[in-house]
Structure 1
Amino acid sequence: MAVKIKLQRLGKIRQPYYRIVVADARTRRSGKAIETIGKYHPKQEPSFIEVDSERAQYWLSVGAQPTDSVQNLLKITGDWQKFKGLPGAEGTLKHREPKPDKAVLFAAALAAAGEEPMAEATTQKKKGGAKSEKAATKDESGEPAAEKAEGGEA
């Protein structure tokens, strides 16, 4: 059986992402796969590429042929060079910078503003809050709620 390593398209219109799969060469693009060995998200900046190197090396060693686009991805991750025994097996994959911690951003914004954090809310309180407070005080001043529910007689 002729086996290929190819991209299986997923996602929405104009928002594609792909699975890197091992499948029979005769199956359609989004058909049944033998094994999923990675992911590729081209719309992220930089593109997200994740390949299970061990499984990719295995499938290449047993004769699976990568499509041109998958071969380019394997070159970026360094798996193709490792398979062929070429120099540069570390690849040229770019990684996204980690996002800064929200607490650090908040502290930096406070320092820039030169103020302390406010303890109270910045929006006004609802006007209906006074009614609920009055209802709570009536229950406390009158009979306990347990006696009202228990007796049922008035």
Structure 2
Amino acid sequence: MTVRVQTEDFDVGLEINQLRQARKDIGAVVSFVGLVRDLNEGDDVTQLTLEHYPGMTEKSLSSIINQAKTRWNILDALIVHRVGTLQPSDQIVLVVVSSAHRGDAFSACEFMMDYLKTEAPFWKKEANSKGEHWIEAKSADDMARDRWKIEK
């Protein structure tokens, strides 16, 4: 299980191949790539700056992977998240999950992304023709996360 927070771009094919080469018992690999949009709420986006707390962020992402491991039979997982200043269409995040069967891989990947959006300590500042502003959390992201909560 690997977590990386970095300024550099990543090669999706290379990352998936490295994860696949590590094991022979993989039957499914599911991945998600998040990109910088060129429009947000009707405004053109010229750039997106992501900030984080080093150490705390990696710990949070590792915790998300560990939570997925307790829920689904996953063999390996990877989260790569970029920070710094990005342009529209740049890659922001990669989540890759491998398992013996596709159902576990799909569910774990979706869970990890839903939790990452709300639980990982990243702050996003968006620039557009009107200036710069910090992006507030969206209630839709909270609702996506909450559907995974287990009632006691």
TM range, normalised to the smaller chain?
under 0.3
Identify the structure with bigger relative contact order (alpha carbons < 8 Å, sequence gap 6+).
2
Q: TM-score, normalised by structure 2?
A: 0.24
TM-score (normalizing by structure 1): 0.24
By percentage of residues, which structure has more strand? 2
Larger Rg: 1
